[in-house]
Amino acid sequence: MVPALELSQLGRADYLATYAAMREFTLARSDATPDALWVCEHAPVYTQGLAGKADHVLAPGDIPVVQTDRGGQVTYHGPGQVVAYPLLDLRRAGYYVKEYVYRIEESVIRALGHFGVTGHRVSGAPGIYVRLDDPFSHAALSGPAHPADPFRGLGKIAALGIKVSRHCTYHGLALNVDMDLEPFDRINPCGYSGLKTVDLSTIGVQTTWNEAAQVLGQKLSAFLQP
């Protein structure tokens, strides 16, 4: 019997070293390798997905831009953000990529719920969003009120970018807790011009990185199980 997902709190971790370790773990794993969940925080860095367009990086300044092999466009990692990397064998888990993405997003929604915040999905735009006018409202989104701008009235609080190789996942998600949000203004976050990015602090939730990391880790551990 394969052990349950192994949770590792890495603390502040260098992005390039963590990226290399994820790839090495995935290449070296066998059918018997336990799944893992790495939770960490990175120094300021922009990461670009495989389909990422250079013109979405507006003014990186002194923040490095790293090309990666994940899906999606450019995003930012920095202090005050909880980054989680699930390293799963989806074939063994018994579900496919679409459900994997759903389970990650559901984990974030449940983690936000722990703090009284209602998270929302936006069709065709992976990640989790909150209402800017009332992030604690339980009302569901009724579909885009402004088809030309599906993000109007919303702020992105969690980003998602994954890679699946030989049925095994790496890369993952980032939940904004208490950050300097200015670096997001230097990019088109996830490829969307003008998309507002928020964190728990700016919407009125006071918590620590450690508490948010613990809550998110617990939700992911529960919802990613077979």
**β-pair type (45-48, 6-12):** unpaired
Q: For residues 105-128, give the mean pLDDT.
A: 96
Q: For residues 124-144, give the mean pLDDT.
A: 87
What would the DSSP string read from start to end of 102-115? HHHHHHHHHHHHHT
pTM for this structure?
A: 0.95
Domain of residue 67: give its range.
6-223
- The verdict on whether 190 is a catalytic residue reads yes
Split into its structural domains, the chain has a count of 1
- Whether residue 1 lies inside any domain: the answer is no
CATH of the domain at 52: 3.30.930.10
Confidence category of residue 146, pLDDT binned at 50, 70, 90: low
Q: How confident is the model over 181-209, as pLDDT tens digits?
A: 999 999 999 888 888 999 999 999 999 99
- Whether residue 180 lies inside any domain: the answer is yes
Annotated catalytic residue: which of 84, 190, 200, 216? Answer: 190
Beta strands in the chain (DSSP E): 6-12, 36-41, 45-48, 65-67, 75-77, 81-87, 120-122, 125-131, 154-165, 168-176
Distance, in Å, from the CA atom of 176 to the CA atom of 194, rounded to the nearest integer, reads 18
Sorted by sequence, the CB contacts under 8 Å of residue 171 that are 6+ apart come out as: 22, 68, 70, 85, 161, 162, 163
- Whether residue 197 lies inside any domain: the answer is yes
Cα distance from N-terminal residue to C-terminal residue, the chain: 13
- Whether residue 68 lies inside any domain: the answer is yes
What is the reported pLDDT for 46?
Answer: 98
- Whether residue 178 lies inside any domain: the answer is yes
Confidence category of residue 215, pLDDT binned at 50, 70, 90: very high
Q: How confident is the model over 28-49, as pLDDT tens digits?
A: 999 999 999 999 999 999 999 9
- Whether residue 98 lies inside any domain: the answer is yes
- Whether residue 13 lies inside any domain: the answer is yes
Q: Give the tokens for residue 129.
A: 């969003």
- Whether residue 219 lies inside any domain: the answer is yes
Q: How confident is the model over 151-162, as pLDDT tens digits?
A: 889 999 999 999
